[in-house]
């Protein structure tokens, strides 16, 4: 894995657009200790031997449960991220345990699937086909035939948290909370990113895999986390408020500018808009659907998150249970933990309300625009607040909805009577006419492109679903264009492996398949001359080249408008990777123009709701 921190700039600045860049020379995960030749050879041989066994098991559905042991040791060897004698011993133990699992699976046995206590499991991600781990705490009652409560605990920042380190923790520690009778899930989150982007996808893929292996009560799933994990809990609860029975964030961050002590006046308007995507204070009203039990240490600087959220909730008329550990810094107070558990137990006993009479929903992006039976499917303008408040009648036959900044919405079922902003309609799907005032039932007419959930940008959104890098095989417009695109692609591949712990699927432009066009977002590198796929679609994508500049951007794929194409970009915060997790947010909007000589951005912007500049 590359140690290059700044993709293009020879003399990196310390700030960009009012936000601190990662410290020069710092990489995460950092470089580990030097292994003795004997240890290195033993581990290398052990990885090869286990790899031969896992290769023979690839078609088995439980293959990831074995492969994760090989990956954990192999990747730490490759990147030199074994940090001490304890982790060296862990590497040896993982090879032994992985071999035992492989041998058992070859015999048609999988005893760990019925094991209680601490269990390491893994799944194959839809994003990139990588194997991702998670840890479980399994109660003795897990196999009694009943559905069980599931508690998630989102981990804190760990710059050394490789797969090897994570497996070491999950094999030996149950974590902060182990509610009686509940399964506890510890997601890896693809390393150290506050569960943004692929880290968010990991949470729901891990839950889905647990649900496929154990009996889980989907109405008693509780979200917890502390520190960076507290920030993740805030983010996941405001963006998916209808998924959780309750949420219990501890510490973390909720307002990037306040948490990082930034000067808002130095942050460009387009960047400030992007900060809203992951700033929970801007989405607080959504927690009307998600009960909260918040914890802070009394003298913890990260109590700021809870204070900010409490103020935001109060402005919406919503209460917040806030348990404070007396004279406590950045940790749980021993007397606070039973209080937190008691509150969460109440919500678990009641279960999730899947059909609340009233739903309150706000959004700034169609990426996060659903709660319970209400979904916003069109906005007047992205990155400006939109709201919808809907209330069913007592008999459930009618519904009243008030909106602002909304141009389309959908209900989970049809109603015979829908009062929508004072207009009387019927149905489940609605859109605003071109006059911007009149609501109509049904889908909008016409084939005009429009932003919609899962197809709204910005660039980073392409990496929330399966994606494929498409490599150019032709001759570029200029040697400079070709050199820049090659360097940018190699950096993006390396960044994904380093920071999101997966290997990008790369295909040559002349080998791209119909299946990939149908099911994956296409990340296209090069220009219309060098990349034949760009050549096929460039007339339909409003992004262009000059001899000195190249575009990066996202757009609905003209070959399949239900998926994206991306030009010349991986995730956009590579220059912030080893910095604060609060800054692991999109750093470019829908499109930008880059000077190929030095990689500097000379223009950027958002497409409108019809995907026009």
Q: How many CA atoms lie within 13 A of 472 on its CB side?
A: 28
- Residue 14 is predicted with a pLDDT of 85
The predicted-structure confidence for 509-540, as pLDDT tens digits, reads as follows 999 999 999 999 999 999 999 999 999 999 99
**pLDDT in the model for residue 446:** 81
Q: What is the pLDDT of residue 1?
A: 37
CB–CB of 176/337 below 8 Å? yes
- Paired with 522 in beta bridges are 468, 565
Structure tokens, 570: 């991986």
252 CB contacts (<8 Å, ≥6 apart)?
A: 225, 226, 227, 228, 229, 230, 231, 232, 233, 234, 302, 305
Q: From the first residue on, what is the mean pLDDT of each consecutive set of 10 residues in the chain (613 residues)?
A: 35 78 89 97 98 97 98 98 98 98 98 98 98 98 97 97 98 98 98 97 98 98 98 98 98 96 94 97 98 98 98 98 98 98 98 96 98 98 98 96 98 97 98 95 90 98 98 97 97 97 98 98 98 98 97 98 98 92 96 95 97 96
Sign of the C-alpha dihedral, residues 240, 288, 458, 455?
A: positive
DSSP string, 420-448: ETTEEEEEEEEEE-TTSS-EEESPPPS--
Rounded distance between C-alpha atoms, residue 133 and residue 59, angstroms: 18
Query: What would be the CATH architecture of the domain defined by 459-605?
Result: 2-Layer Sandwich (3.30)
CATH 3.40.50.1820 fits 113-350, yes or no: yes
Describe the strand order of the beta sheet including 246-250 as a list of residue ranges: 117-124, 131-138, 183-187, 148-154, 216-226, 246-250, 293-297, 321-325
Outline where 244-330 has alpha helix (H): 256-259, 269-275, 303-315
Each residue of 215-250: pLDDT tens digit? 999 999 999 999 999 999 999 999 999 999 999 999
SS3 379: strand
Q: What per-residue confidence (pLDDT) applies to 353? A: 95
CA distance 555 to 120: 39
- Alpha-carbon distance of 457 to 555, in angstroms, equals 8
pLDDT at 13: 61
Structure tokens, 416: 């015979």
Farthest-apart Cα atoms in the chain, separation = 78
Judge contact between 296 and 302, C-beta under 8 A. Answer: yes
Rg (CA), the chain: 25
Each domain of the chain, given as residue ranges in start order, spans 113-350, 358-441, 459-605
Q: How far apart, in whole angstroms, are the C-alpha atoms of residue 273 and residue 586?
A: 10
């Amino acid at each position: 894995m590359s140690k290059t921190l700044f993709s293009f700039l020879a003399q990196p600045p310390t700030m960009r657009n009012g936000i601190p860049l990662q410290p020069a020379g710092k990489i995460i995960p950092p470089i580990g200790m030097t292994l003795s030749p004997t240890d290195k050879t033993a581990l290398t041989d052990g990885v090869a031997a286990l790899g031969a066994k896992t290769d023979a098991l690839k078609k088995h559905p439980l293959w990831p449960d074995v492969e994760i042991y090989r990956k954990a040791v192999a990747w730490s060897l490759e990147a030199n991220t074994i940090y001490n004698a304890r982790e060296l011993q862990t590497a040896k133990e993982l090879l032994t345990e992985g071999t035992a699992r492989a041998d058992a699976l070859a015999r048609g046995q999988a005893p760990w699937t019925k094991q209680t206590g601490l269990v390491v499991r893994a799944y194959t991600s839809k994003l990139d086909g990588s194997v991702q781990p998670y840890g479980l705490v399994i109660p003795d009652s897990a196999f009694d035939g009943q559905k069980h409560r599931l508690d998630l605990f989102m981990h804190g920042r760990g710059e050394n948290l490789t797969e090897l380190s994570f497996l070491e923790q999950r094999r030996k520690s149950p974590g902060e909370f182990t509610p009686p009778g509940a399964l506890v899930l510890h997601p890896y989150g693809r390393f150290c990113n506050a569960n943004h982007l692929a880290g968010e996808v990991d949470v729901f893929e891990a839950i889905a895999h647990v649900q496929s292996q154990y009996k889980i009560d989907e109405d008693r799933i509780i979200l917890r986390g502390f520190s960076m994990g507290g920030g993740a809990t805030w983010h996941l609860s405001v963006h998916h408020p209808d998924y959780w029975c309750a949420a219990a964030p501890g510490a973390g961050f909720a307002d990037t500018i306040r948490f990082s002590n930034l000067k808002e006046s130095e942050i460009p308007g387009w960047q400030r808009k992007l900060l809203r995507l992951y700033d929970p204070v801007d989405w607080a009203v959504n927690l009307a659907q998600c009960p909260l039990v918040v914890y802070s240490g009394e003298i913890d600087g990260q109590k700021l998150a809870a204070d900010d959220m409490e103020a935001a909730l109060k402005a919406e008329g919503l209460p917040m249970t806030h348990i404070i550990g007396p004279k406590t810094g950045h940790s749980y107070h021993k007397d606070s933990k039973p209080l937190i558990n008691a509150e969460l137990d109440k919500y678990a006993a009641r279960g999730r309300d899947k059909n609340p009479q009233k739903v309150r929903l706000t959004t700034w992006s169609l990426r996060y625009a659903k709660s319970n039976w209400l979904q916003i499917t069109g906005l007047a303008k992205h990155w400006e607040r939109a709201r919808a408040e809907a209330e069913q009648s007592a008999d459930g036959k009618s519904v009243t909805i008030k909106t602002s900044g909304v141009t389309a919405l959908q209900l989970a079922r049809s109603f015979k009577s829908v009062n929508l902003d004072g207009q009387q309609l019927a149905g489940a799907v609605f859109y605003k006419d071109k006059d911007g005032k009149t609501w109509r039932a049904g889908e909008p007419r016409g084939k005009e492109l429009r932003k919609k959930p899962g197809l709204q940008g910005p660039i980073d959104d392409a990496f929330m679903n399966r994606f494929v890098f498409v490599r150019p095989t032709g001759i570029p417009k200029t040697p400079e264009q070709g050199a820049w695109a090659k360097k940018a692609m190699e950096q993006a591949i390396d960044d994904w492996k380093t920071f999101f712990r997966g290997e990008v699927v790369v295909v040559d432009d002349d080998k791209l398949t119909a299946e990939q066009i149908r099911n994956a977002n296409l990340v296209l590198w090069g220009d219309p001359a060098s990349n034949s796929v760009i050549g096929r679609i460039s007339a339909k994508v409003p992004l262009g080249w000059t001899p000195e500049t190249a575009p990066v951007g996202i757009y609905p794929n003209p070959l399949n408008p239900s998926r994206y194409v991306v030009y010349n970009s991986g995730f956009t915060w590579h220059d912030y990777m080893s910095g604060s997790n609060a800054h692991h947010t999109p750093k470019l909007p829908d499109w930008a123009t880059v000077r190929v000589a030095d990689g500097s951005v000379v223009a950027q912007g958002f497409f409108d709701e019809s995907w026009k500049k």
